[in-house]
Amino acid sequence: MSCFVEVAPDSHFSLQNLPFGVFRPRTGGPARVGSRIGDFVLDLAALEAAGHFRSPEFGDAQPFASDSLNAFMALDRPAWRHARAVLQRLLTGERSALPADALRPLAEVEMLLPARIGDYTDFYASYHHAHNVGTMLRGAENALMPNWLHLPVGYHGRASSIVLDGTPVRRPRGQIKPPDAPAPIFGPTRSLDYELEVAFFVGPGNALGQPVPIERAEEHIFGFVLMNDWSARDVQAWEYQPLGPFLAKNFCTSISPWVVTLEALEPFRRPLPAQSPEPLPYLRGGSTYDLVLEAHLQAPGAEPFAVTRTNFQNLYWSAAQMLAHHTCGGCNLQPGDLLGSGTVSGPTEESRGCLLERTWRGAHPLTLSNGATRKQLEDGDTLTLTGWAQGDGFRVGFGEVGGTILPAHDAP
């Protein structure tokens, strides 16, 4: 079966991927749902209007003439699978079967946030990340808190400041307590960092008071994106106890535009690494995926610098465990909610997923091609995340999510 759109072997957007996103034609017209094949965007609202998705799986639903994926996310896996099968059939058939303008060059569209994100939660699911950060803050003996091996630690984040790939990142101001100062000061962060994460969108929600058992958790997971949880480390160090991160994280969080489905990732599913001690029964389950994840720094006047190369399999807790834990007390998730993995750090230096770990809290700055060094992100730097699964002659990837650091606003 070959696709009539040419797709390079290293393209993230093969016939095996077919992610979902939201776009607006640059030539005008409303936002709508699309899919991606090679360097083209397929207009799913146009296919829907032509009746291509009519099926028992869709029923009366017409989710694609919309400026968000929420209505499509609220359907279920049989509907998502049906949409994918329709797209694969159309793309391997006659091009003439597509409505005019249904296939648009990427350059002719503007990508938008894929969903109206009602709530956003961030976890802390990499053992190596938690252990490294804990060692820096509290020493190796107390690196992991007593709860860490028993539950996926998380916190409720801020949905309003989630932005799309390409959105500039304004250096935040905040309250900072320098170690040698008697009292805190207020000013621009001197320790701006990235966090390489993967996040997933919730599909159908659960009713308030009704937990999702782990065996059914994946029925509530629509798909995955890359996420950069920009962080102000000096603000974080001063504010985080006892309730966890607050302003150090809520100024901006960036995600990639295309949501990659579990169907596309299925060939890359792997067993979850062994968990010891065995989690409580409500947390037993889930799996992982073989996904290469990278972070690249483009500093002004320097060659691009590969800061991080890691793998999704470095996460200790599965997405299913995160979702089951999130709902175990009765919290209701809703379509379009976003749940982040936490920084995906591995055991080696190059697999550490943020500058805090990569430079060991600034003790070992990175040296760039022009001799400049980095302990933190500087104004003008661009940090980009990318990630993909490598198939036999094809890739299923996320594209990228990048942002350039802008100087702090003048003090209020």
Catalytic positions: 129
Tell me if 333 sits within 8 A of 159, measured CB to CB: no
Q: Which stretch binds Ca ion (CB under 5 A): 53-61, 168-176, 225-233, 330-338?
A: 225-233
Among 43, 57, 122, 381, binds Ca ion (CB under 5 A): 122
CA dihedral 275, 280, 282, 284 (to 10 degrees): 20
Q: Supply the minimum distance, in Å, between the C-beta of residue 182 and Ca ion.
A: 31
Select 37 or 162, whichever has its Cβ closest to Ca ion.
162
Of 65-94, binders to Ca ion (CB under 5 A) are none
Amino acid in the structure at residue 361? R
Q: Supply the minimum distance, in Å, between the C-beta of residue 231 and Ca ion.
A: 7
Select 165 or 229, whichever has its Cβ closest to Ca ion.
229
Q: Supply the minimum distance, in Å, between the C-beta of residue 355 and Ca ion.
A: 13
Q: What is the DSSP string of 90-127?
A: HHTS-GGGSPTTSEEEGGGEEEE-SS----EEEE--BH
Q: Which helix (H) or strand (E) holds 224?
A: strand 221-228
Q: H/E/C letters for each residue in 308-353?
A: EEEEHHHECCCHHHHHHHHHCCCCCCCCCCEEECCCCCCCCHHHCC
Q: Which helix (H) or strand (E) holds 48?
A: helix 44-49
Is there binding between residue 357 and Ca ion (CB under 5 A)? no
Q: How do beta strands 192-193 and 196-202 pair? A: unpaired
Of 23-52, binders to Ca ion (CB under 5 A) are none
Kindly write out the interface string for residues 175-214 of this chain, putting x where it contacts Ca ion by CB under 5 A and - elsewhere.
--------------------x-------------------
Q: Supply the minimum distance, in Å, between the C-beta of residue 18 and Ca ion.
A: 29
Q: Supply the minimum distance, in Å, between the C-beta of residue 308 and Ca ion.
A: 14
Give the separation between CA 149 and CA 238, rounded to whole angstroms. 25
Q: Supply the minimum distance, in Å, between the C-beta of residue 356 and Ca ion.
A: 11
Q: Which stretch binds Ca ion (CB under 5 A): 118-126, 129-137, 290-298, 372-380?
A: 118-126
302 is written with which tokens?
A: 């320097």
Q: Which stretch binds Ca ion (CB under 5 A): 19-27, 114-122, 219-227, 280-288?
A: 114-122
Select 58 or 148, whichever has its Cβ closest to Ca ion.
148
Q: Supply the minimum distance, in Å, between the C-beta of residue 222 and Ca ion.
A: 21
Residue nearest to Ca ion (CB): 229
Question: Between vectors from CA 177 to CA 144 and to CA 300, what angle results, nearest 5°?
Answer: 90
CA dihedral 173, 178, 182, 185 (to 10 degrees): -10
Select 104 or 129, whichever has its Cβ closest to Ca ion.
129
Tell me if 159 sits within 8 A of 119, measured CB to CB: yes
Q: Which stretch binds Ca ion (CB under 5 A): 45-53, 77-85, 117-125, 151-159?
A: 117-125
Select 48 or 195, whichever has its Cβ closest to Ca ion.
195
Own/partner pairs, 359-365, CB within 8 angstroms, 24+ separation: 360/136, 361/136, 362/191
Number of residues that bind Ca ion (CB under 5 A): 3
CA dihedral 370, 372, 378, 381 (to 10 degrees): 20
Select 124 or 289, whichever has its Cβ closest to Ca ion.
124
Of 227-246, binders to Ca ion (CB under 5 A) are 229
Main-chain phi, psi angles of 239, to 5 degrees: -100, -15
Contacts of 160 (CB under 8 A, 6+ apart): none
List the alpha helices (DSSP H) in 195-248.
233-239
Q: Which stretch binds Ca ion (CB under 5 A): 223-231, 291-299, 324-332, 361-369?
A: 223-231
Select 44 or 196, whichever has its Cβ closest to Ca ion.
196
Select 119 or 122, whichever has its Cβ closest to Ca ion.
122
Q: Supply the minimum distance, in Å, between the C-beta of residue 249 and Ca ion.
A: 7
Helix, strand, coil percentages for the chain (3-state, nearest 5): 20, 30, 50
Residues engaged in binding Ca ion (CB under 5 A): 122, 195, 229
